[in-house]
A and B are shown apart, each in its own frame.
Chain A
Amino acid sequence: MNAVAALVRTVEATPWVMPNLDYTLLAPVLIVLGAGVVSVLFEAFLPRGARRPAQLTLVFLALIAALIAVINLQDSRGSAALGALAIDGPGLILQGTVVVIAILGALLMAERGLDPNGDAFAARASSLPGSEDERQFTARGYFQTEIWAFFLFAVGGMMLFPVANDLLMMFVALEVMSLPLYLLAGMARRRRLLSQEAALKYFVLGAFSSAFFLYGAALLYGFSGSISFPEIATALSSKTGETGLVLVAIALVVAGLLFKIGAVPFHQWVPDVYQGAPTPVTGFMAAAVKVAAFGALLRLLYVALGGMRWDWTPMLWVIAALTMLVGAILALTQTDIKRMIAYSSIAQAGFILVGVIAASPAGLAGSIFYVIAYSFTTIGVFAIISMVRDNNGEATHLSKWAGLGRTSPFIASLFAIFMLALAGIPLTSGFIGKFSVFTAAMSAGDNWLVIIAVVASLIAAFFYMRVVVLMFFSEPTEATATVEIPSVFTTIALAAGATVTVLLGIFPQPLLDLILNAGVFVR
């Protein structure tokens, strides 16, 4: 507690000066969070009919402005807000990716052409599922626009997450990102009980993991006397030999982040939430949370804990191996496409961890490439899942996908491309991603982890190809779903997902250049 007392004394002793916040460096985040505030005001003051157009305009304008702001910063390096944020190459790339994925996610969420009753969200989340209220609201064609405020705050949190350079900011970003997502997960229009159960599970387990993170952060602060990553790194390198508690601290902090990534053994929430949440939210969450959380994990491990890598690599080695194998094996037995993709996302998180473990610039670049490639593919996957429907909404049972290759060859082919990309077949982005993380791991001497990854890829290939078998090698049955034609929103998101998946598979060099030239994290 001496440290706290010392801090208090320092605060008392120094005269108060206006902190320099570097608003230009903060601009992308501020734009999005500011738009979130405006979005709340829209909800309060605009008439019902004007809300949707106003919100959509606001969301897309804010996101595009944030993207421009990120691009403007491309040559900026340094720390902002008194060292709480680190603006550097990898951070900006991840921020930019989050914004682009958010634009695509917003397109999916804005879709109103697929469900005959409106969008993918409950007419009113507060009404009891199956009640007369709910029927009334649905019949009158009500829909919610609060989702856009939640969405903007979540995006703001995600943008903060990979650039947060101290434990407190990382925790704030984690919560700003997560809380709106818990709510969004519970707002599905169809199968609302499942959706609400998912939200509650996500919230309870998420809160649990936040507590882990916070406890670990407190221990780290107790050890180093600072919450700032660079100072923690300095403390770790100068105070060797007192690492017993530090190891516990690292385990707790990392566990908090691994939860968001969905790594085994912190993965139990993933299938339920992926299945229960409204599909556009699942798609956005699956893609963007991975980008943000891997960014945060990389920064924490490489900047703050870089000196301790001989201690955390064995732990992550085991977790990566388990994540890949458990994800791939459990995905084999799934009969629901959303659950299958959920387990696949667990396995994919394991593959990215293989790159993280390399603890080298190649590992950093490989992980970032992989997570970017993965996020675009994921958006495409969920765009298609939201389009395959029958009378009861989305037809997520795998048996209803039988023969889709016959009835809707184009969409089925696109889905097959996404499956091939996730399976890591050459000429797709997934292959280059796998290749770059495996290369980084092998260069770092983790040969056996790569062998395990190869075995897991093989198991994973089996269930990805099973979907292809269903779509293309089976006859359509009476139960086969139809592919609804979406509006321009989903079409753009799908086209972007497919284009990036194929382009990064054939011409990965521009993105690789961008990532490699971005360098490493600033200290």
Chain B
Amino acid sequence: MNSFPWLTVLGLVPLVGSIVVALLPKSKPALAKQLAFAISLAVLAFVVVIALQFDGSTSAPFQFVEFHDWIPAFGVTYSLGVDGIGLVLIALSAVLVPITILAGWNDVEEPNPESVGSVKGYFALILALETLMIGVFAATDVFLFYVFFEAMLIPVYFMIGRYGGAQRSYAAMKFLIYSLVGGLFMLAAMIGLFVASAQILGKGTFNWFALVGLNIDPTTQKFLFLGFFFAFAIKAPLWPFHTWLPDAAGASKPGTAVLLIGVLDKVGTFGMLRYCLPIFPSASDFYAPIIIALAVIGIFYGAFVALGQNDLKRLFAYSSMSHFGFIILGIFVFTSIGISGSTVYMIAHGLSTAALFLAAGFLMQRRNGSTLLSDYSGVNKPAPVLAGFFLFAALSSLALPGLVSFVGEFMVLLGTFQRYMWVGGIATLGIVITAAYVLRVYQKSMTGPVGNGLEGVKDLNGREITVLVPIVLLTIFLGLYPAPVLNVVNPAVDTVMTVIGATNPEPTVGLSSTTSEGAQQ
């Protein structure tokens, strides 16, 4: 591996871009947008370069490793590196950011009667957020991860609070306080972890590699695990820690919601996978039944509430919560196929959420921003293209075979069946409800007689189609051919399995490969 600091440079590009955009004169909002878009594309190109260099066959679990002392007094290092899971999540962020920027092109206008922020501010915040997203997925030091994890709140807080809808101030504060609750308990647990490592190693450390395999005594593990898990469960969000999400999503711009649910919430599930499982294996084992129960409750709770929702943004937020139930389920069944499935599901969910929120956002924009489902009907007559994309997003959300969400959901359920047949069986029923609410939304909004005020609705324009097409293509491509993702994810998952000392239940031989083939058919 060459010594070029790929990940640092990757993180710096959007950061520098963010500063430049923020310093542009206020009188040139168009330039700010164009520059932000160009930078986000450059980041995407950079990620592609990195991904091409990523060696899926090597035995080293982390690649593009960087290691520098940062605060030696506390054993804190600036160490970066990606495994397959980190890489695909960075890639997901890099794909969604330019899409979000393009989709939000006209979302913030100046002067804006509704929001108080400037145009350039919004785009600068998105780019700053991208830096932190890259950092959070690339950090291999618990302290560094925490810094990114907490710092991420600030741009999102401003994106909701300055640019959101009517309830923005309330929603931003609720989001921040919920996240801080988790974050501060994680801070306490992190300090506890440092102290525990100091007792075992003689000198405290935050380095992930040193912490993995540290035999912390089981009682301490249980406490520390809770601190970390609590933060991740709020972020993910796991039932019953989810109540901030509908408010935050409901008050956000569609673009903000995409980044919030599509990427930021993945930090929660990523954190469970990267930190909770390997560092606290025995505690993970201890709590797994409870977490699985909460995840299954979340699947049904989210789906049922979505079934009864009339507010589109809140509906999608609850639907995400249901999907996160699947992701968390897949992680805590401790089977390779379940964990791989969860990772694929994270990607799939990011894409389908983006499609849903953005298509719905375009729709809402055409009717003065109303988010109420009851305000829409028969849109497919005046705007067939919009309705088509919306249908695709809906089908992607309900995991239609052939789309990437199906691969993820199927693998998660398969992994669950291997370990807990009954749980797998119950969770499968969740799919039915998902289908029910997704199709209900489509039927109510798109079919039937054309609703009031929707007669002259314009169909999608070129920019909007450009936004949605890449998501559609990726969803189909990875649905039919998930190998690029699975090939990089599987070695990382195997590492996790080894570290936590879990073995796949019989029969295991060849299952992984047959499933991915099965998913391709």
A and B co-occur in one complex: yes
A interface residues (Cβ-Cβ under 8 A, vs B): 403, 405-406, 420, 425-427, 431-432, 434-436, 438-439, 442-443, 447, 450-451, 454-455, 457-458, 461-462, 465-466, 469, 472-475, 508-509, 512-513, 516
Query: Nearest chain-A residue to B146 (Cβ)?
Result: A426
Contact B177 A458 (CB under 8 A): yes
Contact A443 B180 (CB under 8 A): no
Contact A442 B195 (CB under 8 A): yes
Q: A interface, by DSSP: helix, strand, loop or mixed?
A: helix
Query: Nearest chain-A residue to B180 (Cβ)?
Result: A461
Q: Which residues of B contact A458 (CB under 8 A)?
A: 177, 180-181, 184
Q: In the complex, which of the residues A427, A436, A461, A509 contacts B70, with contact meaning CB atoms closer than 8 Å?
A: A509
| Interface residue B25 (Cβ < 8 Å from any Cβ of A) | no
Contact A475 B151 (CB under 8 A): no
Contact A509 B116 (CB under 8 A): no
B95 to chain A, nearest CB (A): 27
| Interface residue B147 (Cβ < 8 Å from any Cβ of A) | yes
A112 to chain B, nearest CB (A): 32
Distance, CA A457 to CA B191, complexed state (A): 15
Q: In the complex, which of the residues A403, A435, A447, A516 contacts B187, with contact meaning CB atoms closer than 8 Å?
A: A435
B residues 117-158 in Cβ contact with A at 8 Å: 117, 146-147, 150-151, 153-154, 157-158
Distance, CA A400 to CA B520, complexed state (A): 62
Contact B188 A427 (CB under 8 A): no
Contact B192 A447 (CB under 8 A): yes
Distance, CA A461 to CA B188, complexed state (A): 16
Distance, CA A509 to CA B76, complexed state (A): 10
- Write out, one digit per residue, whether chain B residues 191-209 have a CB within 8 A of any chain A CB (1) or not (0): 1101100100000100000
Max chain B C-beta neighbours (<10 A), residue from A426, A461, A513: A426
Distance, CA A432 to CA B150, complexed state (A): 13
| Interface residue B349 (Cβ < 8 Å from any Cβ of A) | no
B residues 349-384 in Cβ contact with A at 8 Å: none
| Interface residue B287 (Cβ < 8 Å from any Cβ of A) | no
Contact A420 B71 (CB under 8 A): no
| Interface residue B168 (Cβ < 8 Å from any Cβ of A) | yes
Distance, CA A473 to CA B172, complexed state (A): 9
A32 to chain B, nearest CB (A): 31
Q: In the complex, which of the residues B151, B168, B181, B198 contacts A426, with contact meaning CB atoms closer than 8 Å?
A: B151
| Interface residue B72 (Cβ < 8 Å from any Cβ of A) | yes
Query: Nearest chain-B residue to A439 (Cβ)?
Result: B191
Distance, CA A499 to CA B318, complexed state (A): 43
Distance, CA A458 to CA B181, complexed state (A): 7
A408 to chain B, nearest CB (A): 13
| Interface residue B386 (Cβ < 8 Å from any Cβ of A) | no
Contact A426 B150 (CB under 8 A): yes
Q: Which residues of B contact A454 (CB under 8 A)?
A: 184-185, 187-188
Contact A465 B198 (CB under 8 A): no
In the complex, 21 of the A-B residue pairs with CB atoms within 8 angstroms, ordered by the A residue number, are A406-B116, A425-B150, A431-B147, A431-B150, A438-B187, A439-B74, A439-B194, A442-B188, A442-B194, A447-B192, A450-B191, A451-B188, A454-B188, A455-B184, A469-B161, A472-B162, A473-B172, A509-B73, A512-B74, A513-B73, A516-B73
| Interface residue B173 (Cβ < 8 Å from any Cβ of A) | yes
The verdict on A512 contacting B188 (CB below 8 Å), with A405-B116, A426-B150 known, is no
Distance, CA A509 to CA B181, complexed state (A): 28
Contact B73 A425 (CB under 8 A): no
Query: Nearest chain-B residue to A513 (Cβ)?
Result: B73
Q: Which residues of B contact A439 (CB under 8 A)?
A: 74, 191, 194-195, 204
Contact B154 A442 (CB under 8 A): no
The verdict on A473 contacting B161 (CB below 8 Å), with A435-B74, A457-B184, A509-B71 known, is yes
- Write out, one digit per residue, whether chain B residues 369-412 have a CB within 8 A of any chain A CB (1) or not (0): 00000000000000000000000000000000000000000000
Contact A436 B162 (CB under 8 A): no
Q: In the complex, which of the residues A426, A431, A443, A462 contacts B177, with contact meaning CB atoms closer than 8 Å?
A: A462
Q: Which residues of B contact A509 (CB under 8 A)?
A: 69-73
B residues 155-179 in Cβ contact with A at 8 Å: 157-158, 161-162, 168-169, 172-173, 176-177
Q: Which residues of A contact B147 (CB under 8 A)?
A: 426-427, 431
Contact B168 A473 (CB under 8 A): yes
Contact B168 A443 (CB under 8 A): no
Q: Which residues of B contact A473 (CB under 8 A)?
A: 116, 161-162, 168-169, 172
Distance, CA A465 to CA B172, complexed state (A): 10
Not counting A454-B185, A512-B74, a sample of 5 additional A-B residue pairs whose C-beta atoms are within 8 angstroms of each other reads A420-B154, A454-B187, A461-B180, A508-B73, A513-B73
